Amino acid sequence: MAPAATSSRSHAAQDPREQQLDVSGQNRVAIFDKQGGPVSIKDVPVQKQLKRGEALVRVIYTGVCHTDLHAMLGDWPLDNKLPLVGGHEGAGVVVALGEGADQFVKVGDRVGIKWIATSCLNCSFCRTGAEPNCPHAQCSGFSVDGSFQKYAVSYANHLSIIPDALPLDQAAPILCAGVTVYKALKEAQLIPGQYVAIPGAGGGLGHLAIQYAVAAGYRVIAIDTGADKKQLCESLGAEKFIDFKTSKSLVDDIKAATPDGFGPQAAVVAASGAAAYEQALDYIRPRGVLVAVGLPGNTDIRANVFFTVFRSVRVVGSYVGNRQDAQEALEIAASGKVRTHFKTLGLSQLPQVYDDMQSGKIAGRIVLDIDQ
């Protein structure tokens, strides 16, 4: 696949579909019945009966995250709903509300559907801002149907408000990829001037991680493979690109990219493959942190106890972000400091997108136009 074009728009040229608040015609969904697919595109009736707290969102654009591919393939140790409409980077407008939902959003609001579809807002996790860890959380495109459909029923309490200055296609990938890496960089607890290595830097999460890191004043060592991803990572501000397929010693090359040769203060692992975790604890510097973000199924992080102590390194897991993280990530994107690099395809091309994602051909993100 050709490298994606970066949108040149700096202000939201509003999509005329954002004004169409009547619910007309059928719902259009991309759905699969069993793990491994096939994914088919179908017309089905729109669900117009909304329960308390629910919102009907007219999705216009949706990003495709590697998580959607994991869910379709069933390679995680968790069961998803079946049949399933995937997708959790949905951007559109609210067209109807269930009882009580108007305390969160209004009809006509430009909103985003993110991975955490809802949470109880009342447990000790929610009360302390750890909404993704809520035991009652529901996940869009996994435990409930997601954004690969024209009319998605979601929960008003977790919809994100998309800033006016941000076009919906630019916004969509921020709703998972953007917020996830923004939060993961917070978990790294770096200060400006410090180095972060980003395995998976040329992918959906990674290319946004480079930009949030640069915006925070961190220095980025990008790790991925191929000329397209190298060019993308360097254009976004990575100071060094290391190709994991051609490097003779990843550990030596990454350490050598820092001035004193001790390696970066953090690795934010945003790759979907298990190999990206193998050497991260060896190339971060003493007192450094490995932030686990990428989710290869059935993979362990192997940490030698002696060297974990002797080098005083930390390992932390980082799981999307809360409602405030999502809002901040969107607002930074609206300011122009972070721009999604994407190619737009139609919802009907989702099976091809999954094939290309599996073979590592996508630099940046694919955003689907729901009506195509």
The residues that touch ligand 8ID, with contacts defined as CB under 6 A, are: 65-67, 70, 176-177, 180, 199-200, 202-206, 223-225, 229, 244, 270-273, 275-276, 293-296, 318-320, 357, 360, 362
Give the residue with the Cβ less far from Zn ion, 203 or 264.
203
Burial of 38 (0-12, 13-18, 19+ CB in 10 A): exposed
Partner whose binding site includes residue 200, from Zn ion, ligand 8ID, none (CB under 5 to 8 Å by kind): ligand 8ID
Min. distance of Cβ 341 from ligand 8ID in angstroms? 11
Partner whose binding site includes residue 319, from ligand 8ID, Zn ion, none (CB under 5 to 8 Å by kind): ligand 8ID
Give the residue with the Cβ less far from ligand 8ID, 58 or 183.
183
Stretch that binds Zn ion, among 25-33, 64-72, 227-235, 344-352 (CB under 5 A): 64-72
> DSSP secondary-structure letter at 163?
P
Q: Which long-range contacts (CB under 8 A, 24 or more apart) does 237-244 make?
A: 237/210, 237/211, 238/198, 238/201, 238/210, 241/201, 244/199, 244/275, 244/276
Orientation of helix 204-215 relative to helix 323-334, angle to 10°: 80
Partner whose binding site includes residue 66, from ligand 8ID, Zn ion, none (CB under 5 to 8 Å by kind): ligand 8ID
The token pair that represents 83 in the structure block? 């049949």
Residues 278 and 290 sit within 8 Å (Cβ to Cβ)? no
Min. distance of Cβ 156 from ligand 8ID in angstroms? 22
> DSSP secondary-structure letter at 176?
T
Partner whose binding site includes residue 146, from Zn ion, ligand 8ID, none (CB under 5 to 8 Å by kind): none
Q: Which residue is at the shortest CB distance from ligand 8ID?
A: 203
The Cα–Cα gap between 22 and 107 comes to 10
The Cα–Cα gap between 361 and 372 comes to 22
Task: Tell me whether the omega of the peptide bond preceding residue 38 falls within 30 degrees of 0, making it cis.
Answer: yes
Give the interface size with Zn ion as a residue count (CB under 5 A). 3
Give the angle subtended at the CA of 170 by the CAs of 96 and 6, to the nearest 5°: 155
Partner whose binding site includes residue 273, from ligand 8ID, Zn ion, none (CB under 5 to 8 Å by kind): ligand 8ID
**Would you count residue 65 as binding Zn ion (CB under 5 A)?**
yes
Give the residue with the Cβ less far from ligand 8ID, 47 or 133.
133
Q: Which of 27, 62, 67, 211 binds Zn ion (CB under 5 A)?
A: 67
**Would you count residue 176 as binding Zn ion (CB under 5 A)?**
yes
Give the residue with the Cβ less far from Zn ion, 155 or 283.
155
List for the chain the helix, strand, coil content (%; round to 5): 30, 25, 45
Partner whose binding site includes residue 223, from ligand 8ID, Zn ion, none (CB under 5 to 8 Å by kind): ligand 8ID
**Would you count residue 322 as binding Zn ion (CB under 5 A)?**
no
Stretch that binds Zn ion, among 67-75, 244-252, 342-350, 353-361 (CB under 5 A): 67-75
Give the residue with the Cβ less far from ligand 8ID, 112 or 204.
204
Residues 152 and 56 sit within 8 Å (Cβ to Cβ)? yes
Give the residue with the Cβ less far from Zn ion, 4 or 176.
176
Give the residue with the Cβ less far from Zn ion, 145 or 253.
145
Residue closest to 199 by CA, chosen among 64, 76, 294: 294
Give the angle subtended at the CA of 247 by the CAs of 241 and 251, to the nearest 5°: 85
Partner whose binding site includes residue 276, from ligand 8ID, Zn ion, none (CB under 5 to 8 Å by kind): ligand 8ID
Give the residue with the Cβ less far from Zn ion, 143 or 231.
143
Give the residue with the Cβ less far from Zn ion, 176 or 276.
176
Residue closest to 54 by CA, chosen among 115, 132, 144, 131: 144
The one-letter amino acid at 347 = L
Min. distance of Cβ 114 from Zn ion in angstroms? 8
The Cβ of residue 53 has, within 10 Å, a number of other Cβ atoms equal to 18
Residues 50 and 96 sit within 8 Å (Cβ to Cβ)? yes
Partner whose binding site includes residue 50, from ligand 8ID, Zn ion, none (CB under 5 to 8 Å by kind): none
Min. distance of Cβ 11 from Zn ion in angstroms? 26
